[in-house]
Amino acid sequence: MSFPDFLRTDRTPKRVAVTSPRTAAARRARHPVTREIDEQTMVGEVYMSSLIRTQFRLALFVCTVLACVVCGLPLLFLLMPELRDLRLLGIPLPWVVLAGLIYPAFIVGAWLYIRQAERNERHFAELVERR
């Protein structure tokens, strides 16, 4: 009994490059956006300003939250003097916040920012490199 050809192991099959007949045509059909950016066409500029705007909005959002917290605290202590002497576990509230809790809050804020900024950049890269 003889095996059919495709089950025989003693003969290595010839290697063939697998290509799609349409690749070259598809490539020629549209410019990648990176080229639009390089040539500073209108399309390229639109992509670039959308990236800058997205990143700037994110930065502005973080700065606004930060400003509210940081500039709000003295205002809060000014307008509500009873907060200045409030105690948490025997420690005055201003000290709990300013000498302790605010530092981990900074780190969490920075971590969240980095996650979102990198996500924005990934989206941009996918958008631009799509053909």
Site for another protein, residues 24 to 53, rule: CB under 8 A? 34, 37-38, 40, 45, 48, 51-52
Sign of CA dihedral 65, 66, 72, 77: positive
> Which one of the spans 2-10, 15-23, 67-75 is the region binding another protein (CB under 8 A)?
67-75
Query: What's the Cα-to-Cα distance from 130 to each of 28, 32, 36, 60, rounded to whole Å?
Result: 13, 7, 13, 29
Position 127 contacts another protein (CB under 8 A): no
DSSP code for 91: E
Closest CA to 32 of 47, 50, 52, 53: 47
Position 96 contacts another protein (CB under 8 A): no
> Which one of the spans 8-16, 17-25, 60-68 is the region binding another protein (CB under 8 A)?
60-68
Which of 24, 26, 88, 98 is close enough to bind another protein by CB under 8 A?
98
